[in-house]
Amino acid sequence: MADPNFFRDRTVRWEDGRVVLIDQRKLPNRFAEVRFSTAKDVAEGIKQMVVRGAPAIGAAAAMALALTAYHSKSLKRQSMIDELEVSARLLEATRPTGRNLFWGINRVLAKARGTRGPARKIRDVIVAEAISIAEEDVLFNKKMGIFGAELIEDGETILTHCK
Protein backbone atom coordinates (compact mmCIF):
# COMPACT_ATOMS: atom_id res chain seq x y z
CA MET A 1 0.00 0.00 0.00
CA ALA A 2 1.29 3.44 -0.94
CA ASP A 3 2.17 6.00 1.68
CA PRO A 4 -1.05 8.02 2.30
CA ASN A 5 0.94 11.27 2.08
CA PHE A 6 2.38 10.36 -1.34
CA PHE A 7 -0.24 12.39 -3.22
CA ARG A 8 -0.33 15.38 -0.86
CA ASP A 9 1.89 17.48 -3.13
CA ARG A 10 -0.28 16.97 -6.20
CA THR A 11 -1.97 19.93 -7.85
CA VAL A 12 -4.73 17.56 -8.98
CA ARG A 13 -5.53 14.35 -7.15
CA TRP A 14 -8.21 11.73 -6.57
CA GLU A 15 -9.22 11.15 -2.97
CA ASP A 16 -12.07 8.93 -1.80
CA GLY A 17 -14.36 9.60 -4.76
CA ARG A 18 -13.59 13.31 -4.91
CA VAL A 19 -11.20 15.51 -6.86
CA VAL A 20 -8.88 17.67 -4.79
CA LEU A 21 -7.22 20.71 -6.37
CA ILE A 22 -4.65 23.04 -4.89
CA ASP A 23 -6.33 26.44 -5.08
CA GLN A 24 -3.95 28.31 -7.37
CA ARG A 25 -5.73 31.58 -6.64
CA LYS A 26 -4.40 31.55 -3.08
CA LEU A 27 -0.75 30.89 -3.93
CA PRO A 28 1.90 31.97 -3.09
CA ASN A 29 0.58 33.60 0.09
CA ARG A 30 -1.50 30.69 1.34
CA PHE A 31 -1.90 26.97 0.68
CA ALA A 32 -5.49 25.84 0.30
CA GLU A 33 -7.23 22.91 -1.31
CA VAL A 34 -10.70 22.66 -2.81
CA ARG A 35 -12.63 19.37 -2.96
CA PHE A 36 -15.10 18.64 -5.72
CA SER A 37 -17.72 15.89 -5.93
CA THR A 38 -19.19 16.49 -9.40
CA ALA A 39 -17.94 17.25 -12.89
CA LYS A 40 -20.07 20.40 -12.84
CA ASP A 41 -18.20 21.64 -9.76
CA VAL A 42 -14.81 20.88 -11.34
CA ALA A 43 -15.92 22.73 -14.47
CA GLU A 44 -16.72 25.76 -12.33
CA GLY A 45 -13.32 25.40 -10.64
CA ILE A 46 -11.63 25.42 -14.04
CA LYS A 47 -13.61 28.53 -15.04
CA GLN A 48 -12.73 30.29 -11.79
CA MET A 49 -9.03 29.41 -12.25
CA VAL A 50 -8.77 27.26 -9.15
CA VAL A 51 -6.47 25.16 -11.33
CA ARG A 52 -3.97 26.77 -13.69
CA GLY A 53 -1.48 25.50 -16.20
CA ALA A 54 -2.45 23.62 -19.32
CA PRO A 55 -1.41 20.10 -18.22
CA ALA A 56 -3.07 20.48 -14.81
CA ILE A 57 -6.27 21.69 -16.49
CA GLY A 58 -6.23 18.59 -18.71
CA ALA A 59 -5.74 16.38 -15.66
CA ALA A 60 -8.56 18.18 -13.80
CA ALA A 61 -10.91 17.62 -16.75
CA ALA A 62 -10.00 13.93 -16.83
CA MET A 63 -10.68 13.71 -13.10
CA ALA A 64 -14.03 15.44 -13.60
CA LEU A 65 -15.03 12.70 -16.02
CA ALA A 66 -13.85 10.14 -13.47
CA LEU A 67 -16.27 11.75 -10.99
CA THR A 68 -19.10 11.35 -13.49
CA ALA A 69 -18.28 7.66 -13.91
CA TYR A 70 -17.64 7.05 -10.21
CA HIS A 71 -20.95 8.50 -9.06
CA SER A 72 -23.04 7.24 -11.98
CA LYS A 73 -25.99 4.96 -11.32
CA SER A 74 -25.81 3.61 -14.88
CA LEU A 75 -25.70 -0.14 -15.21
CA LYS A 76 -25.35 -0.21 -18.99
CA ARG A 77 -22.26 0.66 -20.97
CA GLN A 78 -23.96 3.08 -23.39
CA SER A 79 -25.72 4.95 -20.59
CA MET A 80 -22.36 5.51 -18.90
CA ILE A 81 -20.79 6.75 -22.12
CA ASP A 82 -23.75 9.09 -22.68
CA GLU A 83 -23.25 10.56 -19.19
CA LEU A 84 -19.53 11.01 -19.83
CA GLU A 85 -20.24 12.82 -23.10
CA VAL A 86 -22.64 15.23 -21.37
CA SER A 87 -19.98 16.03 -18.76
CA ALA A 88 -17.38 16.38 -21.51
CA ARG A 89 -19.44 19.08 -23.28
CA LEU A 90 -19.80 20.96 -19.98
CA LEU A 91 -16.04 20.82 -19.40
CA GLU A 92 -15.18 21.83 -22.96
CA ALA A 93 -17.18 25.04 -22.52
CA THR A 94 -14.95 26.14 -19.61
CA ARG A 95 -11.88 26.96 -21.72
CA PRO A 96 -12.69 26.56 -25.42
CA THR A 97 -9.07 27.24 -26.43
CA GLY A 98 -7.49 24.91 -23.85
CA ARG A 99 -5.67 22.25 -25.87
CA ASN A 100 -4.78 20.14 -22.83
CA LEU A 101 -8.35 20.38 -21.58
CA PHE A 102 -9.58 18.77 -24.79
CA TRP A 103 -6.69 16.29 -24.79
CA GLY A 104 -7.60 15.05 -21.28
CA ILE A 105 -11.28 14.81 -22.14
CA ASN A 106 -10.66 13.00 -25.41
CA ARG A 107 -8.22 10.56 -23.84
CA VAL A 108 -10.74 9.56 -21.18
CA LEU A 109 -13.62 9.33 -23.66
CA ALA A 110 -11.53 7.14 -25.97
CA LYS A 111 -10.72 4.86 -23.06
CA ALA A 112 -14.41 4.64 -22.13
CA ARG A 113 -15.49 3.92 -25.69
CA GLY A 114 -12.78 1.28 -26.06
CA THR A 115 -13.71 -0.55 -22.87
CA ARG A 116 -16.04 -3.50 -23.24
CA GLY A 117 -18.23 -4.68 -20.42
CA PRO A 118 -20.71 -3.17 -17.99
CA ALA A 119 -20.75 0.40 -16.73
CA ARG A 120 -19.01 -0.72 -13.53
CA LYS A 121 -15.96 -1.80 -15.54
CA ILE A 122 -15.91 1.49 -17.46
CA ARG A 123 -16.03 3.36 -14.16
CA ASP A 124 -12.98 1.53 -12.84
CA VAL A 125 -11.05 2.02 -16.09
CA ILE A 126 -11.90 5.73 -16.25
CA VAL A 127 -10.87 6.43 -12.66
CA ALA A 128 -7.57 4.63 -13.25
CA GLU A 129 -7.00 6.55 -16.51
CA ALA A 130 -7.66 9.92 -14.86
CA ILE A 131 -5.23 9.13 -12.04
CA SER A 132 -2.68 8.05 -14.65
CA ILE A 133 -3.04 11.35 -16.51
CA ALA A 134 -2.46 13.33 -13.33
CA GLU A 135 0.58 11.22 -12.42
CA GLU A 136 2.04 11.59 -15.92
CA ASP A 137 1.75 15.37 -15.51
CA VAL A 138 3.79 15.21 -12.30
CA LEU A 139 6.41 12.98 -13.92
CA PHE A 140 6.73 15.22 -17.01
CA ASN A 141 7.06 18.34 -14.88
CA LYS A 142 9.78 16.76 -12.76
CA LYS A 143 11.65 15.69 -15.90
CA MET A 144 11.41 19.23 -17.32
CA GLY A 145 12.83 20.56 -14.06
CA ILE A 146 15.76 18.15 -14.20
CA PHE A 147 16.54 18.96 -17.83
CA GLY A 148 16.02 22.68 -17.32
CA ALA A 149 18.25 22.79 -14.26
CA GLU A 150 21.18 21.81 -16.47
CA LEU A 151 20.65 24.94 -18.56
CA ILE A 152 20.34 27.46 -15.73
CA GLU A 153 23.41 28.90 -14.03
CA ASP A 154 23.41 29.84 -10.34
CA GLY A 155 22.06 33.35 -9.87
CA GLU A 156 20.14 33.47 -13.16
CA THR A 157 16.50 34.55 -13.12
CA ILE A 158 13.87 32.80 -15.21
CA LEU A 159 10.59 34.42 -16.22
CA THR A 160 7.87 32.25 -17.71
CA HIS A 161 4.97 33.58 -19.72
CA CYS A 162 1.86 31.92 -21.07
CA LYS A 163 0.73 33.30 -24.39
Specify the pLDDT at position 134. Answer: 93
- Residue 7 burial by CB count (10 A; 0-12/13-18/19+): exposed, middle or buried? middle
Torsion, Cα 5 8 10 13, to 10 degrees, reads 80
What whole-number distance in Å separates Cα of residue 19 and Cα of residue 60?
8
Contacts (Cβ under 8 Å, ≥6 apart) of 113:
81
Specify the pLDDT at position 6. Answer: 46
Average pLDDT estimate for 67-95 = 96
Task: State yes or no: cis peptide before 28, omega within 30 of 0.
Answer: yes
88 in Cβ contact with 37 (< 8 Å):
no
Largest CA distance in the chain: 59
Q: What is the CA radius of gyration of the chain?
A: 17
Average pLDDT estimate for 29-57 = 94
Q: pLDDT (tens digit, 9 = 90+) per residue, 121-156? A: 999 999 999 999 999 988 887 888 888 888 888 888
Can you list the positions of beta strands (E) in the chain? 12-15, 18-22, 33-36
| Residues β-bridged to residue 22 | 33
> Any idea which of 10-14, 71-75, 123-127 has the lowest mean pLDDT?
10-14
Please provide the average confidence, as pLDDT, over all residues in the chain: 90
Give the predicted TM-score (pTM) of the model. Answer: 0.87
12-146 architecture in CATH? Up-down Bundle (1.20)
**Is residue 2 scored above 50 in pLDDT?**
no
The domain limits of the chain are: 12-146
69 in Cβ contact with 84 (< 8 Å):
yes
Specify the pLDDT at position 101. Answer: 95
More confident: 157 or 9: 157
